[in-house]
Every structure is written in C-alpha cells, then in structure tokens.
Amino acid sequence: MFEGLLNLEKAALERLTESRIASGSLGKEVEEYLSSAGVYWDEIGHEYFSIEDFQKEIFEHLTQEYINENYA
C-alpha cells in the first residue's frame, strides 16, 4: 500500500511539473497551497519536489556518510 502511495505522489508531482512548464505558472494560490503541503518548485531542476522526500534522502546520505567514517 505504501508503494502505491509513493507512486501516486510521484505521478502527481510529474503532472504538476508538466502543467507548470506548459503554463509558466500555476498561480499564487496554488503555489501557496503546495507550499503548505511541503511541495516546492526546484528552480534548477525545473520540477516540483516533496520536501519530505528530499529530507529523507539527505538524512539517509548523512547516515551512510557517518557510518563510513571512523565511527564504525
């Protein structure tokens, strides 16, 4: 079930990205709503992303880096 939710979220982010690229902007209200849900526009990658997923990736990376140091 969790995998299904991740796939749904990914598809939604892709559709939002396509809409933003096609129209140039989704509007201030939509951007505010997305921001309140933790979804932001990446100006460099030109795509929407979930801050929750980004944080998870960063924490996993830092954990691996910490484990691979002299602390093991």
Express each pLDDT in 23-60 by its tens digit. Answer: 988 999 999 999 999 999 999 999 999 998 888 888 88
Residue 2 pLDDT greater than 70, yes or no: no
Q: Number of structural domains, the chain?
A: 1
Note the pLDDT of residue 8: 79
Cα 56 versus chain centre, distance: 10
For residue 49, give Cα distances in angstroms to 3, 4, 26, 42, 64: 17, 18, 15, 7, 23
Note the pLDDT of residue 55: 86
Q: Which domain holds residue 29?
A: 2-68
Model-level pTM?
0.71
Look at 25 and 70; give whichever has higher pLDDT.
25
